[in-house]
Amino acid sequence: MSESPEPEPVDGRAARAQQRRHQRRSEILAAATQVFREKGYHAASVGDIIEAARIARGTFYLYFNGKREIFTELASEFLSLIRGSVRKITLDPGAPPPIEQMRANFRRVMGTVLAHDDLATIMLRDPSEVDLEGRAQMQQFFDQVIGLIELAVRTGRSLGFARDCDDHIIAVSALGALREVLRRMLAARAEAARAEAEGLDVAPSRALLIDTERLADELVTFFVRGVFT
Amino acid sequence: MSESPEPEPVDGRAARAQQRRHQRRSEILAAATQVFREKGYHAASVGDIIEAARIARGTFYLYFNGKREIFTELASEFLSLIRGSVRKITLDPGAPPPIEQMRANFRRVMGTVLAHDDLATIMLRDPSEVDLEGRAQMQQFFDQVIGLIELAVRTGRSLGFARDCDDHIIAVSALGALREVLRRMLAARAEAARAEAEGLDVAPSRALLIDTERLADELVTFFVRGVFT
Amino acid sequence: MSESPEPEPVDGRAARAQQRRHQRRSEILAAATQVFREKGYHAASVGDIIEAARIARGTFYLYFNGKREIFTELASEFLSLIRGSVRKITLDPGAPPPIEQMRANFRRVMGTVLAHDDLATIMLRDPSEVDLEGRAQMQQFFDQVIGLIELAVRTGRSLGFARDCDDHIIAVSALGALREVLRRMLAARAEAARAEAEGLDVAPSRALLIDTERLADELVTFFVRGVFT
Amino acid sequence: MSESPEPEPVDGRAARAQQRRHQRRSEILAAATQVFREKGYHAASVGDIIEAARIARGTFYLYFNGKREIFTELASEFLSLIRGSVRKITLDPGAPPPIEQMRANFRRVMGTVLAHDDLATIMLRDPSEVDLEGRAQMQQFFDQVIGLIELAVRTGRSLGFARDCDDHIIAVSALGALREVLRRMLAARAEAARAEAEGLDVAPSRALLIDTERLADELVTFFVRGVFT
DNA sequence: CATGAATGAGCTTTCATTCAT
DNA sequence: CATGAATGAAAGCTCATTCAT
């Protein structure tokens, strides 16, 4: 835009450089996501990533400090996405009923997971696959999710909706159920995609391939009936 | 029986030898269990195992063909234990009500998991941590568990107890809930033990430290109310 | 034979023991021969040998100091056999003409090689396969053979039969020719045997499967007269 | 050709890089040749090679897939050299007499062997030292040589020069003679060199240390005329 | 900035040999 | 004598990371 030959070029150059740098980063992250999804964290090597990103070995270390760091970055990204999908349940007069808010949360999370299935596939795996640091990060995130659910249940009970139960156990159960369903939903979809690609019309575990809204509803119903009166 | 003075001692020697051999195997398996629990399958090296078992490198390969095989063996052991804890739900006239049978199953599984917490800690991790072969084995096991739960729900519905729902999704959810609860229960207990050992009286997530019967009951109630009418 | 209960039993026992010991040794040697033939010296492991001999690991070291020693023993045996097949050429009045004596030597060597084809197959391989010590032993033997041939040529020349040539080069050539022919003859026979065993009637390199007398004659003629007229 | 100031230096860099890469390869090959010559294929370890080449373990695997591959490469190189030294015998009017052509072939092969004595020392050993794949390669090469000699003999016979004999046996014999002579010639020269290096003037097997032309001639004469008159 | 050759610690596995039973 | 469990040195190979160009 700025054709001025000398005064601004420094800024312009710097900006362009930074932009290019950012784009490179994204490309590498995208490549790493693919690789991690296919091979898992451990089996994936830096060699796999640089091959997928079509960059030189050294370039990788120009953008990331190592395999762990790139994973940590992906984890952060995913956690942000999921956090962005969840709204705290409010009792404001004009707001929809709490259960509807919860249903909306489930739906949004599922939508986000589907929209970023590569990332989600990686992150829904057990944290034990990663090393200590990454593990802690994911642990913390899931703990927060549990906190949210506990809050929801407590809120429900204070309104006289929820039965008497151990909130923590219920929350852990709900998280576990959600994770397992999402995991298997992603696996089923991946397999269905693979089957279609190969021309086979094998339909594995049809139940998990229904549209996400119904899936979310089914989960919410299970959760609600289990907890609320 | 003994026609010559030799046969008995020979048998005796052979028997003792075989017994010692068996014991060594068990020792190595025990050491491997500890190592896998602490480091996870991937991070654990054969070197770690032989160090823990205090044997020479070669000795390990005298009893197992490699890291994968020893893991497979542990997996088989655990799967057998869990299978042994689950009874199919029967509608025989004299049998307890189905829900009680289910509750008993949950309790037995929890008891088994607690009794073999090292093994369970390893196996409740995501199968993705292991290589293809081991993964398939665990996948298959969990699929079977899902099948059992589906059957239970179908049975309940045929008796007019269960509401209309997608059996597969419910079963996946239940499995996920159970896994997550067990995982965190084991983690909580391990941490509590560690804290106690160090003299600290940090009490993390007290809810998961209650006695297993109540834990199982809580889970069953959640499951039952969610599904049954 | 001696039924006397006490006086001689010591000798008898000792003799019997020694005899058994000798037989064991032979069995192990036979097993090792088979193994070496099939796998070659390096690829053959002590494990292979004790498996073939159906003895325990320790037993092997009761009879031999190690892999090298058993090979050395086999080499000695083969060298003795070959030495026993060769007669020095004599100019005694009653003796057959020198060339006939040489032809007889070739024939006998070939017969011996055929009669001990396992051993011969191993030993006709290059000494480099074995370690330094064994190599030296075989080198020495072949040097002796070369000495014999040199002597024969010198003798022939002193009688006016042989042309002017470098005896050593001729002897080395003759030895090389003999070794190569024997090696390939054994290989051809082994393959023919294998083909027959499998029911196939593939006939590889027919020329080397003719009877040994003709093969020996062909070699001697080549040695004596060369190829061209 | 060059539209911008950059292209040349870039090419230059790439070219230099490739050149250096090629040189490294050659260095490793040279080191491996030395090691194989001294220890033989089996006894030589990758560790020996990297030590001789003064490179790190990983570097070796950057250039070769393993011990076998580097050996295969050396074998190919040697076989090419030898193939390049042999000309088919022609009956063209202007060509020298067949026997002279054969003598020239022998001389050229000997010259090549001497010029690449390390490589030749390794490759003249028995193929049995190498594993199956390398063995097949060498077997094939020697079979081709035999084919060439057979052709020469047949040609000679069609011209009325050669006597009636079994071509295959003659060819195998000639090959064996040549191999043994070359092998011992190389060994004698190596030992002579060693003796000289140590200041000793031990002269082992003088006959094989004569100039190659005379050695080749001696062999050809033996091949053509045999020994006796 | 980008490159990719180089590094070396670390892995799994094999195998000749010893020694208590 | 016979056994075979135990040993540990040493092999081949991988891969995250560095650094001179």
Last residue of a domain, one of C45, C64, C83: C64
Q: What are phi and psi of D228, to 5 degrees?
A: -95, 160
Q: How far is the CA of D65 from the C1' of E16 (A)?
A: 28
How far lies C226's CA from each of C174, D97, D151, D162, in Å? Answer: 11, 18, 16, 9
Long-range contacts of A110-116 (CB under 8 A, 24+ apart): A110/A182, A110/A185, A110/A212, A110/A215, A110/A216, A111/A85, A111/A212, A112/A81, A112/A82, A112/A84, A112/A85, A113/A82, A113/A182, A113/A185, A113/A186, A114/A189, A114/A212, A116/A78, A116/A81
Q: What pLDDT score does A12 carry?
A: 73
Asked if C42 is an interface residue toward chain D (Cβ–Cβ < 8 A), one would say yes
Q: Give residues with Cβ within 8 angstroms of D212, minimum separation 6.
A: D107, D110, D111, D114, D185
Structural tokens at position D9: 């230096």
For chain B, the distance separating the N- and C-terminal CA atoms, rounded to the nearest angstrom, is: 66
* A-chain residue closest to B125, CA distance: A126
Last residue of a domain, one of A64, A83, A99: A64
Number of structural domains, chain A? Answer: 2
- Percent of chain C exceeding pLDDT 90 equals 44
pTM value? 0.84
A-chain CB neighbours of B183 within 8 Å are 176
Mean pLDDT of D24-40: 94
Among residues B79, B186, B66, which one has the least CA distance to residue B138? B79
Q: Which D residues in the span 88-117 are in contact with C, Cβ-Cβ below 8 Å?
A: 99
C-chain CB neighbours of D174 within 8 Å are 177
Given a cut of 70, whether residue C33 has pLDDT beyond it is yes
For chain C, the distance separating the N- and C-terminal CA atoms, rounded to the nearest angstrom, is: 67
> Across the interface, do C228 and D42 touch by the CB < 8 Å criterion?
no
- Chain E nucleotides reached by a protein CB under 7 Å: 1-21
Mean pLDDT of D97-110: 90
> Across the interface, do D166 and C207 touch by the CB < 8 Å criterion?
yes
Phi-psi domain of C87 (left: phi exceeds 0; alpha: psi -120 through 50; beta: other): beta
Query: Does B186 lie in the same domain as B96?
Result: yes
Q: How many CB atoms lie within 10 A of CB A16?
A: 11
Strand partners, C228: D162
Complete DSSP assignment for C184-223: HHHHHHHHHHHHHHTT------GGGGS-HHHHHHHHHHHH
Q: What angle do CA D52, D54, D60 make, to 5 degrees?
A: 90
In the predicted model, what is the mean pLDDT of chain D?
86
Structural tokens at position C221: 């003629």
- Percent of chain D exceeding pLDDT 70 equals 88
**Residue C122 near residue C37 (C-beta atoms within 8 A):** yes
Structural tokens at position B175: 């499995």
Query: Does C180 lie in the same domain as C82?
Result: yes
Provide the CATH number for the domain around residue B59: 1.10.10.60
> Across the interface, do D181 and C169 touch by the CB < 8 Å criterion?
yes
Query: Does B7 lie in the same domain as B29?
Result: yes
Q: Give the integer Cα–Cα distance in Å for C105 and C108.
A: 5
Q: What pLDDT score does D27 carry?
A: 95
Query: Does A20 lie in the same domain as A72?
Result: no
Given a cut of 60, whether residue D5 has pLDDT beyond it is no
* A-chain residue closest to B131, CA distance: A43
Given a cut of 50, whether residue B202 has pLDDT beyond it is yes
**Residue D26 near residue D35 (C-beta atoms within 8 A):** no
Q: How far is the CA of A29 from the C1' of F18 (A)?
A: 22
* C-chain residue closest to D41, CA distance: C129
Query: Does B203 lie in the same domain as B118?
Result: yes
Q: How far is the CA of D74 from the C1' of F9 (A)?
A: 30
CA atoms within 13 A on the CB side of A141: 22
Closest nucleotide (C1' vs CA) to D21 is E5
The subunits that touch chain C, with at least 3 C-beta pairs less than 8 Å apart, are D
Provide the CATH number for the domain around residue D73: 1.10.357.10
Q: What pLDDT score does A129 carry?
A: 65
Q: From the CB coordinates, do chains B and C have 3 or more pairs under 8 Å? A: no
Query: Does A119 lie in the same domain as A35?
Result: no
In the chain, the amino acid numbered A149 is I
* B-chain residue closest to A131, CA distance: B43
pLDDT band at B153 (very low <50, low <70, confident <90, very high): confident
Asked if A84 is an interface residue toward chain B (Cβ–Cβ < 8 A), one would say no
Cα dihedral: A54, A55, A56, A61 (round 10): -130
Closest nucleotide (C1' vs CA) to C59 is F2
How many Å separate Cα A79 from the centre of its chain?
6
The subunits that touch chain D, with at least 3 C-beta pairs less than 8 Å apart, are C
B168, B207, B221 ranked by CB distance to A207: nearest: B168
Among residues B182, B202, B183, which one has the least CA distance to residue B192? B202
> Across the interface, do B165 and A223 touch by the CB < 8 Å criterion?
no
Q: How far is the CA of C55 from the C1' of F3 (A)?
A: 9
Q: How far is the CA of B34 from the C1' of F4 (A)?
A: 28
Q: Give the integer Cα–Cα distance in Å for C42 and C34.
A: 14
pLDDT greater at residue D129 or residue D45:
D45
Complete DSSP assignment for B125-151: S-GGGS-HHHHHHHHHHHHHHHHHHHH
- Percent of chain A exceeding pLDDT 70 equals 88
Query: Does B187 lie in the same domain as B209?
Result: yes
Taking only the tens place, the pLDDT of each residue in B91-101 is: 889 999 888 88
Q: Give the integer Cα–Cα distance in Å for D202 and D198.
A: 10
How far lies B38's CA from each of B35, B86, B128, B205, in Å? Answer: 5, 28, 17, 21
- Mutation pick from C102, C106, C128 vs chain D, by most beta carbons of D within 10 Å, is C128
- Closest CA of chain A from B40, distance in Å: 7
Return the H-helix or E-strand segment holding A134.
helix A132-158
Write down how long chain A is: 229
- Closest CA of chain B from A166, distance in Å: 7
Strand partners, B162: B228
C129, C168, C226 ranked by CB distance to D129: nearest: C129
Query: Does A187 lie in the same domain as A151?
Result: yes
Given a cut of 70, whether residue B181 has pLDDT beyond it is yes
Closest nucleotide (C1' vs CA) to A53 is E2
Among residues C152, C139, C149, C154, which one has the least CA distance to residue C171? C149
Q: What pLDDT score does D203 carry?
A: 60
B166, B175, B177 ranked by CB distance to A218: nearest: B166
Q: Give residues with Cβ within 8 angstroms of C185, minimum separation 6.
A: C110, C113, C208, C209, C215
* B-chain residue closest to A38, CA distance: B128
Given a cut of 50, whether residue A51 has pLDDT beyond it is yes
Given a cut of 80, whether residue A67 has pLDDT beyond it is yes
pLDDT band at B161 (very low <50, low <70, confident <90, very high): confident
Q: How far is the CA of A133 from the C1' of F6 (A)?
A: 39
Mean pLDDT of B11-40: 88
A-chain CB neighbours of B40 within 8 Å are 128-129
- Mutation pick from A99, A126, A146 vs chain B, by most beta carbons of B within 10 Å, is A126
C128, C177, C218 ranked by CB distance to D125: nearest: C128
Mean pLDDT of A183-192: 92
pLDDT band at D2 (very low <50, low <70, confident <90, very high): very low
Query: Does A163 lie in the same domain as A102?
Result: yes
In the predicted model, what is the mean pLDDT of chain A?
86
A129, A173, A208 ranked by CB distance to B222: nearest: A173
Query: Does A114 lie in the same domain as A222?
Result: yes
The residue that minimises its CA distance to C1' of F3 is C56
- Lowest-pLDDT range of A122-131, A212-221, D44-53, D158-167: A122-131
- Closest CA of chain C from D132, distance in Å: 10
Q: How far is the CA of B118 from the C1' of F11 (A)?
A: 35
Closest nucleotide (C1' vs CA) to D25 is E5
Query: Does D57 lie in the same domain as D132?
Result: no
Q: How far is the CA of B62 from the C1' of F8 (A)?
A: 14
Asked if D172 is an interface residue toward chain C (Cβ–Cβ < 8 A), one would say yes
How many Å separate Cα D222 from the centre of its chain?
22
Q: What pLDDT score does D202 carry?
A: 62
- Closest CA of chain C from D181, distance in Å: 6
Strand partners, B228: B162
Asked if B190 is an interface residue toward chain A (Cβ–Cβ < 8 A), one would say no
Q: Give the integer Cα–Cα distance in Å for D107 and D218.
A: 11
> Based on C-alpha coordinates, what's the Rg of chain D?
22
Q: What pLDDT score does D51 carry?
A: 95
B126, B174, B208 ranked by CB distance to A126: nearest: B126
- Closest CA of chain B from A176, distance in Å: 4
3-state secondary structure of B162: strand
Long-range contacts of D26-34 (CB under 8 A, 24+ apart): D27/D53, D28/D53, D28/D55, D28/D60, D28/D63, D28/D64, D28/D70, D29/D70, D29/D73, D29/D74, D29/D77, D32/D70, D32/D71, D32/D74, D33/D74, D33/D118, D33/D119, D33/D122, D34/D118
Q: How far is the CA of D58 from the C1' of F14 (A)?
A: 8
Given a cut of 90, whether residue C156 has pLDDT beyond it is no
Given a cut of 60, whether residue A77 has pLDDT beyond it is yes
Taking only the tens place, the pLDDT of each residue in D90-102 is: 888 999 988 888 8
Q: Which D residues in the span 199-218 are in contact with C, Cβ-Cβ below 8 Å?
A: 205, 207-208, 210, 215, 218
Q: What pLDDT score does C143 carry?
A: 92
Q: What pLDDT score does B186 carry?
A: 93
What residues make up the domain containing B166? 67-227
Structural tokens at position C178: 């003999």
Given a cut of 80, whether residue C121 has pLDDT beyond it is yes
Given a cut of 90, whether residue C13 has pLDDT beyond it is no
Query: Does C87 lie in the same domain as C59?
Result: no
Q: What are phi and psi of B68, to 5 degrees?
A: -60, -45
Q: Give the integer Cα–Cα distance in Å for C203 and C200.
A: 9
Q: What pLDDT score does D118 carry?
A: 94
A129, A177, A227 ranked by CB distance to B128: nearest: A129
Given a cut of 90, whether residue D17 has pLDDT beyond it is no
Q: What angle do CA A159, A163, A167 make, to 5 degrees?
A: 90
Q: Give residues with Cβ within 8 angstroms of D98, minimum separation 6.
A: D89, D91, D152, D155, D156, D159, D161
B166, B180, B224 ranked by CB distance to A172: nearest: B180
3-state secondary structure of A228: strand
Structural tokens at position D219: 């062999």
Q: What pLDDT score does D8 carry?
A: 46
Q: What pLDDT score does A204 carry?
A: 59
Given a cut of 80, whether residue D129 has pLDDT beyond it is no
A-chain CB neighbours of B43 within 8 Å are 131
pLDDT band at D10 (very low <50, low <70, confident <90, very high): low
Last residue of a domain, one of A64, A94, A115: A64
- Chain F nucleotides reached by a protein CB under 7 Å: 1-21
Phi-psi domain of C160 (left: phi exceeds 0; alpha: psi -120 through 50; beta: other): left
Mean pLDDT of A44-71: 94
Mean pLDDT of A118-124: 91
pLDDT greater at residue A59 or residue C211:
A59
Given a cut of 60, whether residue A4 has pLDDT beyond it is no
